[in-house]
Each structure stands twice: as structure tokens, then as C-alpha cells.
Amino acid sequence: MARARFQRYMVILSLAIWAVLTLASTGFSARIKDIAYFIGNRFNMLIGYGLVVGLNGTGDKEKTQFTVSTLANLLDNMGIHVDPDQIKIKNVAAVMVTARLPAFARIGTKLDVQVSSIGDAKSLVGGTLLLTPLQGPDGEVYAVAQGPISVGGFAFGGAAGGGVQQNHPTVGHISNGAIVEKEVPLDYQNYSVLDLTLREPDFTTASNVAKAINAAFGQKIAEARDAATIRISVPENSGKNLVDFISKVENLEVVPDSVAKVVINERTGTIVMGENVRISPVAVAHGNLTVSITEQPYVSQPLPFSRGRTTVVPQTQVEIKEEKAHLAIVGGGVTIGQVVEGLNAIGATPRDLINILQAIKAAGALQAEIEII
């Protein structure tokens, strides 16, 4: 029974390895729209400064001068003249409001905004953002934001200290909290040449994209200018319907190339290797060395009729344990599956593999870049 179960397990494992190696050898295709974008089709960042009101005593403290000045100026613009020294701001918090303006956003389009405290407020729970202009990098106002804040957390504490907190109560979100008031001019209809930019620059991928476009339209209209840019000349018969032309280009599939890279996260012991990782033949022996030091108190008793005193002295014991490690041949791998199989033959844990891969790289046998995050 156990033997049959083991054989069934080995068959499943063999099929899984065969599927991985087959996918790695045939390549992975992606749509152009998933790996590149046309110049101009991008987000623009917006930022603004505003006030959140209606807090339950969790706002900024009186020493936060910019909150006091902002509230006093706001009331003054509404015809209410007050002495800033007499304003209590415990229910008010100064915040920075950020949003992303997508391409082709029209007047009236609603945007999501994020609200973050910049003072010493304890929580934005229950607050409402007052009308806040959102500016672009050029200083122009492109949207205005206002509305109740959703925090998704809380923080409560006592006067003597301590308390409980869930999530981050000084950062909130307003869904559809901003309205676009000014558009970013962008008109593709007047373009005779389009620039396509890769999200991950690579000469091989750029060449593959240009070849795929030329093959799809039956003429040489695309040229890779560098590792990131493919310049496309719009065919004359597509000038009146540029949207369809762009849609056809975006949905073409290409095989993106990538550099050989090993990504290591030492905090979690995670290792990710790309399919192009290769290891030259190398012999690896890895064993764990454990040093255990323990101390126990020992009573030292003097001899009878001597002038010595009874004292307690530490007694130290050192124990060294080293696991047996055997040399294993790793490398010469043609695919990522063979590399993994060779490393698994050593029987090391993921954290051991991190040290092994770094040592193989130092020996010059790992043809890949190691990136530690």
C-alpha cells in the first residue's frame, strides 16, 4: 500500500516537473498593453492641503500652529472674524490630500483620494474633509476633493497610558471623493508617429515588439529606437481610425525577455529565480555548526578550619555540534528545473540556500544577478 502511494506520488511529481520544464522551454507570451504603454497614456499625481473636521477630540493639539492659522483664515474668508488664540482645534486636523489623475480624464470624472494627517492628530475616524483644491506639478488646479473619510481602523487610549489600536487611524480614504475640474490635453488623432515605451526596458523585448507589430500589419511601421522605446509610424489608412489601430497594437502578443536574476528576501527566507538562471558545474558542501553554551551555579565550599568563605562560582559547559555534509555536484543546468533539482539534492532549507547561492555567486559559478530585498 505504501509502495503504491509512493509510486503515485512520484508520477505526479514527474508530471509537474515536466509541465514546468515545458512551459519554461516554450516561453511566456504577453500582450503589448501589459508590458508597454504609449507616450502620454499615463497617470499624473495631484496633491493638496486641507482640513478634516468633525473629529471626536482626536484632532491636532493647540501647539500645531499651521492648523490654527488655516482654520482662522478659513473662517475669515467666510466672514467670521475670530482671534486665533481663542480657537480650539481638538476636533480639527490638518491633512495632505493625494490623488492620481488618469489619462483622458474628463471634466466631471470622479477620483479616489487619500487623506493623511500631517499634524499630531490621533485619529481621523468620523472626520469630513473640507473642500480641498488638488494641484498638479505645474501648480494648476485639476480637481477638488471633499467628503467623509473612511479610515478602517481605530485607536483608543487611557490617560495613564496604554490603549488599543487597529490598522492606521491617521490615514483615510474617500472613494470618488474628488471631481476633475480641468483636463490634461491629449489628442492622439493628430499624431502620425506614436512612441511605445516598455515598462521594463530590454533590447531583446523591444526588438520582439517591433517584429510582432511589423508582422501583424504586413509592413515595416515599427522600429526599436532603444531598450525602452519603439517608434511606430501610423499607416495612412489608419489615420482616421487611430483608436482601432492602437487597440490592435496593444492586443498583439510577444515573448518578453528578462535578465537572469535571483531575488532573495532574507527576512522571510524567500528565494525567487528566473528561468534564465544558470549555474556552472560546481561542488557544494553545506553543514550547520551549532555552538551551545550553558552555565550552572557551583558552590565552592572551603576546607574545615580554613579562613576561606563559601562562594558560588559559575560552571560553564560548551557543546559543539556540526552536521555531516557531503559534497554534491550542482550546476550545468540547462533549465531552472534542473538548477532547483541540483540545489534540492543538498537537502538545505531556504535560509541555507540563500547562503549557498551567495557563495556560488562569489565563486563565479552563478550566471545571474542577485538582488536582496
Query: Do 230 and 103 fall within a single domain?
Result: no
Among residues 276, 262, 288, which one has the least CA distance to residue 333? 276
* Predicted pLDDT at 165: 58
Lookup result for grid cell 530585498: 373
Q: Is residue 17 part of a domain?
A: no
Q: Is residue 365 part of a domain?
A: yes
Q: Is residue 272 part of a domain?
A: yes
Query: Do 77 and 176 fall within a single domain?
Result: yes
Q: Is residue 265 part of a domain?
A: yes
Query: Do 82 and 198 fall within a single domain?
Result: no
Query: Do 265 and 368 fall within a single domain?
Result: yes
Query: Do 149 and 170 fall within a single domain?
Result: yes
How far apart CA 51 and CA 49 sit, in angstroms, is: 7
pLDDT in tens, 13-64: 444 444 444 444 445 788 999 999 988 788 899 999 999 999 988 899 888 8
Q: Is residue 242 part of a domain?
A: yes
* Predicted pLDDT at 291: 47
For range 149-171, the mean pLDDT: 66
Query: Do 280 and 245 fall within a single domain?
Result: no
Query: Do 147 and 49 fall within a single domain?
Result: yes
Check: CB of residue 339 under 8 Å from CB of residue 260: no
Query: Do 221 and 115 fall within a single domain?
Result: no
Query: Do 100 and 114 fall within a single domain?
Result: yes
Query: Do 117 and 217 fall within a single domain?
Result: no
Phi, psi torsion values for 179, nearest 5 degrees:
-120, 130
The domain tally of the chain equals 4
Check: CB of residue 60 under 8 Å from CB of residue 69: no
CATH (domain of 247) = 3.90.1150
Q: Is residue 55 part of a domain?
A: yes
Percent of the chain with pLDDT over 90: 33
Does position 190 have pLDDT exceeding 60, yes or no?
Answer: yes
Q: Is residue 22 part of a domain?
A: no
pLDDT in tens, 256-266: 887 888 888 87
Query: Do 278 and 299 fall within a single domain?
Result: no
Q: Is residue 7 part of a domain?
A: no
Query: Do 274 and 367 fall within a single domain?
Result: yes
How far apart CA 24 and CA 258 sit, in angstroms, is: 13
For residue 206, what are the domain limits?
Answer: 30-40+187-254
Does position 312 have pLDDT exceeding 50, yes or no?
Answer: yes
Q: In Å, how far from its chain's centre is CA 67?
A: 33
Q: Amino acid identity of 309?
A: R
Does position 341 have pLDDT exceeding 90, yes or no?
Answer: no
